[in-house]
Amino acid sequence: MNTSKLDATYRKFRWQIILATFLTYTVMYISRKAFAAAAPLLMEDLGMTVVQFGAASSIYYIVYGLSKFSSGLVADRINPRTFLGSVLILVAIINVGIGMTENVTMLLALYCLTAVVQGCGFPPIAKSISQWYSKSERGGWYSIWNTSHNLGGALAPLIASAVIAATGDWRYAFYVPAAITALQAVICFWLMRNKPETYGLPNVGEWKGDAKQIAINKRSEAGLTMWVMFKRYILTNPIIWLAISGDLCIYIIRTVTNDWVSVYFVKELGWDLVKSNSLVAWFEAGGIIGGLTSGIISDKLFGADRWKTILIYSFILVAGMVGVVLTIDISYLLVSGCFFVIGAGIYAPQMLFALGIIEASHADGAGAATGLKGGITYIGAALAGAPIAMIESAYSWNGVFMILGCIALILIVLTCSIIQLDKRKSQDTASNNKNKLASSEVI
């Protein structure tokens, strides 16, 4: 294959990958969030209690995390086209089943089954992005893909509300997303591709001439079994565990912000529902800006160093949290601006932790590494439910705010620890390479 044809093929497939993965995660969010959007009507129709709904949400987070972990272990061994296309078909079928159900038990069983299938979505996407985009450019591309979270999260309630308003039936809030998901399955089978080497293309690091990616490839041993690779490059990697702990902090703060904002501002401060819910919209808008800017900043200003960029956005997060405390009794606009800042400070580290974990593991271990991360960090989402309610009950909302402040400080400490450990690791690698070079010159 001549150079011009190779370049054209690579560029074509890369655009297909980013488009297919972006649309896939957007559509999966639309299907996933349909339950929450239709909850008030289906609770009334089927007689579901608030306790049942709350329990289902907590179980969902746990099952989703476990599914992410287990699917991550196998995602690195399966063609992502087959994996993602099959996942989308299953999501569509389950959504149709939820729409057809007539009792609470079956509804909750299908909802938990949705968590199992939805948890399989991210690992193959992480694998594809790591294989088609090299380290020095990956932050920018990943940040573009990452906005699919926000787009899907914003479209889900709009689509569900419009469909329910048009039909008067909550069931169509599941049928319509099911149809959209089935269509995306077809698009996914059409656009997705396996790794470049499958099509006679060079590794993306070689194609881009990216020394950082080539270094990752060189330190990644070939021919390892899944378990040996997982144990050697992921399970015993201290940087990955510190990063997962930092991401756990992010998920707790993010989930508390999403799930408890309207409760606090309506019940404690007397705000109306629309006004309080608008803070979540500001939060998501900030998340889009944070996600987009952080990847580009880490690529262009810090030489693809994800950890230093995370530290900057962690301080932005703390600034936003302090800002809410200081402005909460002064101005709605100031408070909403602070939620915008918090969104940027949440979604940027969330994206970069995933990217950093991928790059700290084996070159072919993106699925397993992100699967482990997802399995643990969604515990953070579960911790933002009943435990937060217990803290509020015992120590009021001031206790909740203090806990969140402490978690944010722990995030900063963990990130500083990663930076130091990564620096020491780089120095050791440079020293070892220098010694090898000196030895070869002597010989």
User: For the chain, which residues make up each domain, given as ranges?
Assistant: 1-195, 238-360+385-428
Q: What pLDDT score does 14 carry?
A: 92
Count of alpha carbons within 13 angstroms of residue 103, beta-carbon side? 3
Fold that domain 1-195 belongs to in CATH: Growth Hormone; Chain: A; (1.20.1250)
CA–CA distance, 218 with 135 (Å, rounded to integer): 14
Among candidates 157, 413, 383, which has minimal Cα distance to 251? 383
Measuring CA to CA, which residue among 22, 254, 221 is closest to residue 122? 22
Question: Tokens 């060079």 map to which residue?
Answer: 202
209: alpha, beta or left? (left if phi > 0; alpha if psi -120 to 50) = left
Instruction: Please check whether the domain covering 238-360+385-428 is classified as CATH 2.40.37.10.
Output: no
Nearest residue to 118 via CA among 58, 60, 78: 60
Q: Which of 156, 198, 210, 142 has its CA nearest to residue 351?
A: 142
* Residue 273 in tokens: 């529902």
> What is the model's pLDDT at position 386?
66
Per-residue model confidence (pLDDT) at position 437: 46
Indicate the length of the chain as a whole number: 443
Residue with tokens 């530290």: 311
**Distance set, CA 264 to CA 270, 271, 276 (Å):** 9, 9, 9
List the pLDDT tens digit at each of the 443 positions of the chain.
Answer: 677 888 889 999 999 999 999 999 999 988 887 877 777 777 778 887 766 776 777 788 788 888 888 888 787 788 889 999 999 999 999 999 999 988 888 888 898 899 899 988 888 898 898 889 988 888 888 888 888 887 887 788 778 878 888 888 888 989 999 999 999 999 999 999 998 888 888 988 888 888 888 888 888 777 777 788 888 888 888 999 999 999 999 988 888 887 677 667 777 777 766 677 677 778 888 888 898 888 888 888 888 788 999 999 999 999 999 998 888 888 888 988 999 999 999 999 998 998 889 888 877 777 788 888 887 887 767 776 667 777 777 777 788 888 889 999 999 999 999 999 988 876 665 555 555 545 555 45
Both tokens of residue 113?
């089954």
- 67 contacts 116 by C-beta, under 8 angstroms: yes
Report in angstroms the alpha-carbon separations of 194 from 15, 17, 76, 81, 89: 14, 9, 11, 7, 19
